[in-house]
Structure 1
Amino acid sequence: METLRVAVCDDDRVYLEQIKEEIKEYIGSMPGTVDMQVSLFTDGRRLYEAGQQQPFDLVFLDIEMPERDGFWLAEQLGISCPETRLIFVSSHESWVFDAHEYMPLWFVRKGLLKRDMGRALQKYFQVTARRKISYKIQGGFGAGEVLLRDIMYIECNGHTLTYKMSGGAEYSVYGSLKPVAEELRDYGFLRIHRNYLVNQAYISQIEKQDAVLKTGAVIPMGRDRKKGVREMMMEYGRKHGSRLCD
C-alpha cells in the first residue's frame, strides 16, 4: 500500500498537535484505509530540506512564522515539488487574498480549525488522494482490499455487486449499490444509472445515452440522471483540463 506523506509546519507546537489530531480523526472516519505518515515541523527550512529528500503529498503551512514565512516556503515547494498540494493555515482571514498567488488547495482558519480542516481534507481526497486509499470489498469469494483508483465501475445485478477493476479482475459480492454509492460519493464515483456506479477518472466521453470509458466499455446512463451526470463531469473536466461532454 502506498503511504500518504503529510507535513505540518507551524511555529506553535499547540497548533501542530491540534492539526495532526484533526488529520488522524478525519482519516479514521473514512470508508477506506489510508497508510499515512504525518511529519511535524516548527521551521520551514527543515520542512523544505525533508521535502527535497522525499516529496510530501500534502503540506499544511502556517503563513506567519519567524525567519521564513509560509509564502516563502510555498514558493520553494512549488518550484522543487510541483506535485505537493498546499493548504495554508492562519489566524487572520485577510491572508486568504495573498495566498491565492500560490494556488493552495484550501485555506484553514485557526479560529475554525475543526470545520475548516474537515473541508480541506475532503477537498484533497476528492482531487488527488483516491490513488492512496484502499477500499475493502465486503464479503463474497475472492473479495478483499483494493485501491479505489483501480475500481473502474461497480455493476449491480439483482442483489449481486460486481466490481470491475482496471487490471481486468472482477469481484462479485452480495449487497446493495445504494450504500456503496453513498460511501464513495466524495471519492469521484458517480451513480450514472440505478445499476451502475462509475469512477469519473475512467470516463472518456459522455454521449446522449451512455458514458464511454477509456477502455472502450459503454455504460448506460439513467434517463433521470443525465443532467446531473453531465454537470458533474463538466466540472471534473474543468479541474482536470479535459473535454468530456458533447
Structure 2
Amino acid sequence: MKVFSIAMCDDSSRALTAFSVALENVFEKCGARALIDTFSSPAALERSMSEKHYDAVFLDIEMPAADGITLGKNLRTAKDTTRIIYLSGREDRVFDAFVAHPFGFIRKNSFANDSVDAVRSLLASCSVKTVEIGTYTNDVVEVDPSAVVYVENVKDRQLFHFAENARTLTVKSTLGRLEDLLSPYGFIRVHQGYIVNHDYISRLDNTSVTLTNGEIVPVSRRKLGEVRKKFMSLIDKGGE
C-alpha cells in the first residue's frame, strides 16, 4: 500500500478533525494510506513545509489571518510545486484560486463526493513515472523524473536538483547512465556535465540554458544543434 504525506490547513479545529478523518478513510478506500498533519494557520503550515515534503496540501480558502490563496501564491512564487487542493464553502472564490495553479477543489458541502474524485486524481498523478536510483549511501530511492530540474556532474558524483524547495540528491552512477535512464522522460544532455529536464527550460541560447527557477546551465557548442532539435521535438510532442 502506497503511503502519502498530506497536510491539511483550516482555521476551524472542528473542520480539521472531521475532514482529516474523512480524508484518511477516502485514501483507504482508494487503496492507499494517508499520513495527515493538520494545521490551524497558513503560517504554521508554511514553517512545516520548509522542513518537510508533502505529496499534497489541502487548504481552506477562507481563513482570517492569511487565506489559502495567499499561501498558494507564496508557494508558487518560491517555485514550490506541491499539489494544492483547495477546500471551500465559497464557490464564488474558486476562480480567485486559479492564480496558485491548484491541483483540485473540494466543496465542503460536497466533501464526500468531491474528495473521492480528488484523491483518485492524486493517486493517478503520483503513480506516474518513477525510476529507481542508487545513492552514495547504498540505498535505492524512487525518483519522480517530472520533479527533477536537472542533473549535474560534480567530480565523481551526480547531483539531482529538484524543483521543490531547492532539494538535491547525490547518486552513485555516471552521467551517461543517467542520460539513458532519463532520456525517455524528456531529459536532454546539454553539456558534458549536465542533463536538463526540458519542462524546466525557459530559454535556450547559443551558450546556455535558462531554467524556470532562474538558474543558468551551460550548453556545449558541439551539442547546440542536437539540443535545439530534441528540445523542439519534445515541445511538439508535449513531452511524451
TM-score normalized by the length of structure 2: 0.52
CA distance in 2, matches of 1:13, 1:94: 24
Give the match for residue 135 of structure 1. Answer: none
Deviation at 1:26, TM superposition (A): 1.6
Contact 1:51 1:81 in 2 (8 A): no
Answer whether contact 1:108 1:117 (CA < 8 A) is retained. Answer: yes
- Structure 1 partner of 2:97: 99
Check conservation: 2:30, 2:120, Cα contact below 8 A: no
CA contact (8 A) 1:89 1:108 kept: yes
Aligned: 1:17 with 2:14: no
Q: Do the aligned residues in 2 keep the contact of 1:55 with 1:81 (CA within 8 Å)?
A: no
> Does the C-alpha gap of structure 1 residues 244 and 106 become closer, same or farther in structure 2, counting only changes over 3 Å?
closer
What per-residue deviation string (whole Å, max 9, x for no partner) do you get for residues 157-207 of structure 1? xxxxxxxxxxxxxxxxxxxxxxxxxxxxxxxxxxxxxxxxxxxxx899xxx
Q: Which residue of 1 aligns with 2:59?
A: 61
Partner AA of 1:19 in structure 2: F
Q: Tell me if the contact between 2:12 and 2:40 (Cα under 8 Å) persists in the aligned partners.
A: yes
Instruction: Give identity over the alignment, percent.
Output: 26
* Runs of 5+ consecutive residues of structure 1 not aligned to the other structure: 133-146, 150-201, 205-239
Cα distance in 2, alignment partners of residues 79 and 203 from structure 1: 25
> Cα–Cα, structure 1 residues 52 and 203, in superposed 2: closer, same or farther, change >3 Å?
closer
> CA offset at residue 57 of structure 1?
1.4
Match status 1:243 vs 2:234:
no
Contact 2:62 2:68 in 1 (8 A): yes
Structure 1 residues 2 and 82, CA gap change in structure 2 (3 angstroms): farther
The CA distance in 2 between the partners of 1:243 and 1:126, in whole Å, is 21
Partner of 2:215: none
Amino acid at match of 1:83: T
CA 1:17 to 1:117, structure 2 compared with 1: closer, same or farther past 3 Å?
same
Pairwise CA distance, 1:82 = 2.1
Give per-residue Cα distances to partners, 1:129-172, cap 9 Å, x unaligned: 4579xxxxxxxxxxxxxx9x9xxxxxxxxxxxxxxxxxxxxxxx
- Match among 125, 130, 135 for residue 127 of structure 1: 125
What is the CA distance between 1:124 and its match in structure 2?
A: 1.0
- Say what the alpha-carbon RMSD is for the aligned residues: 3.0
**Distance 1:64-1:77 versus aligned 2 partners, 3 A rule:** same
User: If the length of structure 1 is used for normalisation, what is the TM-score?
Assistant: 0.50
Structure 2: which 5+ runs fail to align?
131-141, 145-183, 187-233
What is the alpha-carbon distance in structure 1 between the residues aligned to residue 79 and residue 238 of structure 2? 29
Q: 1:12 to 1:52 in 2, by over 3 A?
A: same
Counterpart residue identity of residue 10, structure 1? D
Aligned residues: 141
Give the structure 2 partner of residue 232 of structure 1. Answer: none
